[in-house]
Amino acid sequence: MVTCSDMNTYICKYMRSSAAAYKLACELIGSQMAASWQIDSPDYAFVHIHQRHWNGRQLSHNLYAPAIGSKRINGVVDVTPSTFREVNQSVIQLQQLMKIALFDFWIANEDRNANNANLLYNVIQEKIVSIDYGCILNTATYDFPLSQLTTTDTILCSDLFHHLSKEKGQTTIDPITTELKTDYCTCLKRSLLQVDEILTALPKEWNVSIEIVREKLKQLFEEQWISETWNNFMDCLNENLSHE
């Protein structure tokens, strides 16, 4: 966690190795795509950490490469198995969580699940905030085709989802999924417009192949992937609702 020259505080991830650069690329991709989906997520910035800030620390930073930082948000609670009940049991929060779950299915985020929510809750604004995108694209797998999440690799299996969906009948769930399906198409159109911007923003110091990233992102917009994602999301949603 560092305070930068813009006087904001950022939680930074940095280059530990050349292979880690592709996980940093995932952080950038996830942040940009979440914004295009209008999912609440911390603003990000590229952070240059000076050598003097590492003096006396056990870890060292590859100074040639900028870190990527998520802006620290005040007034939030880290969603965990012991804090999820602090999230307000409203239809709005349920809508937010279901949209994040669909986003995870689409972008193949394997790191958000029942044991690791990677979510914050803004208590004052009553918003669920999505964080941490290093394991999207099947944990930064760029050399194999995208694969669908399993039913356990999703926030829909969490206590938080059951907390929010408790006693919500089909008259509540069906309108949410109907609206979400329409919104899904709109989100994909906005996301497609982000691809060139993401590729341009990748720092040269990361030494990430633009073509490899471009080819990976193209998979997200293939009709088969889009259709399979929706079907997988709905199957998982219905399975978890039936267990309540």
Amino acid symbol at 34: A
Pairwise CA distance, residues 181 & 160, whole Å: 22
In the block, tokens 């020259």 appear at 5
Tell me: the pLDDT tens digits for 6-21?
899 999 998 877 778 9
Pairwise CA distance, residues 3 & 51, whole Å: 15
Residues sharing a CB contact under 8 Å with residue 24, sequence separation 6 or more, in sequence order:
13, 14, 15, 67, 68, 134, 206, 208
Give me the pLDDT at residue 205, please: 92
Tell me: the pLDDT tens digits for 205-218?
999 999 999 999 99
Task: Please state the φ and ψ torsions of residue 183, each to the nearest 5 degrees.
Answer: -65, -35
Tell me: the pLDDT tens digits for 227-242?
999 999 999 999 988 6
Tell me: the pLDDT tens digits for 63-103?
678 999 999 999 999 999 999 999 999 999 999 999 999 99
Number of domains in the chain: 1
Q: Which residues pair with 44 in a beta bridge?
A: 70
In the block, tokens 């918003």 appear at 127
The pLDDT of residue 60 is above 60:
no
Q: What are the b/e assignments for 211-228, b being 16+ CB within 10 Å?
A: eebeebbeebeeeebeeb
The pLDDT of residue 156 is above 90:
yes
Q: Which two tokens stand for residue 223?
A: 């009709």
Residues 154-160 have a mean pLDDT of 95
Domain extent, residue 125, equals: 2-242
For residue 107, the tally of other CB atoms under 10 A from its CB is 23
Cα–Cα distances in angstroms (integers) from residue 197 to residues 16, 39, 48, in the given order:
25, 18, 21
In this structure, the chain runs to a length of: 244
